[in-house]
């Protein structure tokens, strides 16, 4: 800790300029750097009282240098001249270990007027008092839901906002603001020997849309509906993944669509472009330019303009998610899917994952077969493997016969293979789960999977 001038924290643009100019001095042909500056505030409530309040302001700079084409990465949260110089030396030293990376960093371009900008003022206007009120209302609502509600162990709300600056040695200099808020509640219901938790979480760019009482009712009814659940004998049957779990399920296997994984032999989709890999009802896309959603952005982690794109269209594999390195290796134009934080490597991923809505409601889907499993909860993904596609996942939900709930089900696993599962996709629901602002996946009906328990 010091008040001395020479160890003062540099402003974002000064820090970036220093890092890039030193990188050139130390021999980097190209370099890019990211500066993130974030603020957050969160509140946690238990039994009507504030349990925790957290407030933060932190910044960091991440640097990639290319020395003779070889990349080296480093980052620092100390933003003094001395610390940034050490960060540059670290990156240059590390570049000696790596192989050549065939990329040309983008040249400067100008952002269009920010039509997808977040409501920074609405987020900043969410103060502690409002946060506490929203949580207390939710807690009251949960307890008045019924005698089976035993406890509300998890109840919290937070907001964060920040600025991100990206610059490179080719004259690129871009910035964007981020702002979002989230509210989450976990309710425990008890009846006899049975204990179940129900959760609802909303993330949003507009905190005015929080309806915490409604969320409490949803979480409570989800907990209560699973009370008295029991296992069913092993069998094969149609499985309906509710819109509450479908995006998590697809998310586990998102890596199969990442170009870098494909090139490294870590995806079974290698070499299958323009082939039918899924049922013709299945379309999957990345939608980075949706208005005011969590995954929306005009430029990616390397400064390439983003573009909405289908990866699977009516069952046909159309392409992969690329950063500069993987698009170059694949021989395609940059696609703008790079993802990057200041402390990490450049990856690639979905910016708002979307599967289009189908025409049938959940109830209509339940009538499609005389007997099916309706899954409303997934329990961890450790039995799943994005490389092999293996699925072995604990689930909870309901046994459905002729469109009617027979009983809640737990202590079972659903197993199969993701790449078979998408071939057996039979129909999509007509709703997205509310409050997931970067995932848009409806309920998915799979015609046959192994259910064991």
Partner 1 sequence: MNPELARRVLDAGLQAGADFAEVFAEETRFGTVTLRDQKVESASAGTDYGVGVRLVYGNEVRYGYTSRDDSQALLELVQDLAESGHNPHAGAFGSFEHRTPAGLHTVAIPNASKGQLAKLDSLRLADEVARSTSSDVAQVTASALDRDSHIALYNSEGFSMEDHRSWSRFSVAVIAERHGERHTGSESPGERRGFEFFENLDIAGCSRKATERAVRMLDAGYVEAGEMPVVMGNGFGGVIFHEACGHPLETEALRRKATPFAGKIGELIAHPCLTAIDDGTIPHAWGSLEYDDEGYPTQKTVLIENGVLKTFLSDRGGAAECGLPRTGSARRESYKYAPVARMRNTYIAAGQSSLEDMLRAAGDGLYAARMGGGSVNPATGEFNFAVEEAYRIRNGRIAEAVRGATLIGRGHEILPRITMVGQDLALSAGTCGASSGMVPVCVGQPSLLVDRILVGGRS
Q: Tell me which residues in 272-331 interact with partner 1 (CB under 8 A).
A: none
Rounded Cα–Cα distance for residues 447 and 368 (Å)? 10
- Extract the runs of DSSP E, i.e. beta strands, from 47-116: 49-67, 70-76
Select from 10, 22, 67, 74 the one that contacts partner 1 (CB under 8 A): 74
* Residues within window 344-373 making contact with partner 1, judged by CB under 8 A: 344-345
Q: Closest approach of Cβ 289 to partner 1, in Å?
A: 30
Show the tokens assigned to 205. 């760019």
Q: 441 near 250, Cβ under 8 Å?
A: yes
CA distance 145 to 227: 15
Residues 120, 308, 356, 383: which binds partner 1 (CB under 8 A)?
383
**246: number of Cβ within 10 Å:** 24
Of 51-70, which residues contact partner 1 (CB under 8 A)?
51-60, 62
Identify whether the C-beta of residue 157 lies closer than 8 Å to the C-beta of residue 182: yes
User: Applying CB under 8 A, which of residues 29, 50, 85, 248 lies at the interface with partner 1?
Assistant: 50
The least CB distance from residue 304 to partner 1, in Å, is 21
Per-residue tokens: 232 = 């069913």
Nearest CB to partner 1, comparing residues 65 and 179: 65
Q: Which of residues 387-406 bind partner 1 (CB under 8 A)?
A: 387-388, 390, 392, 394
Binding-site member from 2, 110, 274, 359 for partner 1 (CB under 8 A): 2
- 124-141 core/surface letters (b: 16 or more CB in 10 A; e: else): eebeeeebbebbbbbbeb
Minimum CB distance to partner 1, residue 363 (Å):
28
Count, residues near partner 1 per rule CB under 8 A: 77
- In the range 123-162, which residues lie near partner 1 by CB under 8 A? 151, 153-154
Q: Interface residues for partner 1 in 213-232 (CB under 8 A)?
A: 231
Report d(CA 219, CA 353) in Å as an integer.
24
The window from 104-112, 135-143, 408-416, 432-440 that contacts partner 1 (CB under 8 A) reads: 408-416
**Shortest distance, position 19 Cβ to partner 1, whole Å:** 13
Contacting partner 1 (CB under 8 A), which of 137, 197, 203, 252?
197
| Residues between 82 and 111 that touch partner 1 (CB under 8 A) | 83, 86-87, 90-91, 93-99
- Please identify which residue in 415, 423, 430, 447 interacts with partner 1, judged by CB under 8 A: 415
Please, what is the minimum distance in Å from the beta carbon of residue 93 to partner 1?
7
Q: How many residues does the chain have?
A: 453
CB 337 → partner 1: shortest distance, Å?
A: 19
Burial pattern 215-237, b for ≥16 Cβ within 10 A else e, equals bbbbbbbbbbbbbebeebeeeeb
Q: Cβ(312)–Cβ(277) under 8 Å? A: yes
Q: Which residues contact 150 (CB under 8 A, 6 or more apart)?
A: 188, 189, 190, 195
Does 343 participate in binding partner 1 (rule CB under 8 A)?
yes
* Residues 249-268 interacting with partner 1 (rule: CB under 8 A): 264-266
Q: How far is it between the farthest Cα atoms of the chain?
A: 75
Q: How far is the CB of 73 from partner 1 (least distance, A)?
A: 4
Min. distance of Cβ 71 from partner 1 in angstroms? 8
CB 285 to partner 1: min, Å: 28
Residue given tokens 């009983």 in the structure block? 407
List 177, 208, 407, 411, residue binding partner 1 (CB under 8 A): 411
Nearer to partner 1, 91 or 400 (CB): 91
DSSP E strand stretches across 294-389: 309-313, 316-317, 338-339, 347-348, 353-354, 371-379
Cα angle: 402, vertex 404, 408; to 5 degrees: 125
């Amino acid at each position: 800790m010091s008040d001395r001038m020479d160890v003062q924290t540099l402003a974002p643009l000064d820090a970036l300029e220093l890092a890039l100019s030193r990188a050139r001095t130390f021999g980097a042909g190209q370099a890019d750097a990211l500066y993130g500056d974030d603020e957050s505030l969160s509140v946690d409530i238990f039994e009507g009282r504030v349990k925790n309040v957290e407030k933060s302001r932190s910044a960091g700079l991440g640097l990639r240098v290319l020395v003779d084409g070889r990349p080296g990465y480093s980052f620092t949260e100390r933003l003094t001249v001395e610390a940034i110089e050490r960060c540059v030396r670290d990156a240059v030293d590390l570049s000696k270990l790596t192989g050549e990376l065939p990329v040309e960093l983008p040249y400067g371009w100008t952002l269009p007027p920010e039509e997808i900008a977040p409501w920074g003022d609405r987020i900043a206007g969410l103060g502690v008092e409002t946060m506490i009120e929203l949580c207390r209302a939710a807690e009251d609502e949960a307890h008045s839901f019924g005698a089976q509600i035993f406890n509300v162990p998890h109840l919290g709300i937070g907001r964060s906002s920040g600025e991100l600056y990206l610059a490179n040695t080719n004259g690129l200099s871009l910035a964007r603001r981020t702002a979002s808020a989230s509210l989450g509640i976990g309710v425990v219901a008890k009846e006899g020997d049975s204990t179940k938790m129900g959760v609802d979480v909303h993330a949003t760019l507009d905190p005015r849309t929080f309806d915490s009482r409604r969320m409490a009712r949803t979480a409570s009814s989800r907990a209560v509906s699973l009370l008295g659940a029991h296992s069913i004998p092993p069998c094969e049957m149609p499985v309906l993944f509710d819109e509450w779990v479908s995006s998590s399920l697809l998310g586990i296997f998102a890596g199969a669509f990442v170009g870098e994984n494909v090139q490294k032999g870590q995806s079974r989709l290698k070499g299958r472009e323009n082939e039918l890999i899924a049922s013709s009802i299945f379309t999957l896309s990345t939608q980075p330019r949706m208005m005011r959603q969590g995954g929306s952005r005009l430029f990616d982690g390397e400064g390439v303009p983003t573009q909405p794109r289908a990866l699977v269209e009516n069952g046909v594999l159309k392409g992969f998610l690329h950063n500069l390195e993987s698009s170059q290796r694949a021989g395609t134009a940059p696609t703008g899917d790079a993802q990057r934080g200041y402390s990490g490597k450049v990856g690639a991923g979905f910016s708002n994952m979307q599967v289009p809505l189908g025409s049938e409601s959940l109830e209509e889907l339940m009538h499609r077969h005389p007997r099916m499993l309706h899954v409303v909860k997934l329990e961890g993904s450790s039995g799943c493997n994005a490389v092999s596609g293996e699925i072995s996942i604990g689930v909870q939900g309901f046994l459905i016969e002729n469109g009617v709930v027979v009983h809640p089900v737990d202590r079972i696993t659903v197993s199969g293979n993701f790449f078979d599962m998408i071939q057996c996709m039979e129909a999509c629901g007509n709703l997205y789960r509310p409050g997931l602002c970067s995932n848009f996946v409806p309920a998915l009906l799979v015609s046959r999977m192994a259910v064991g328990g």
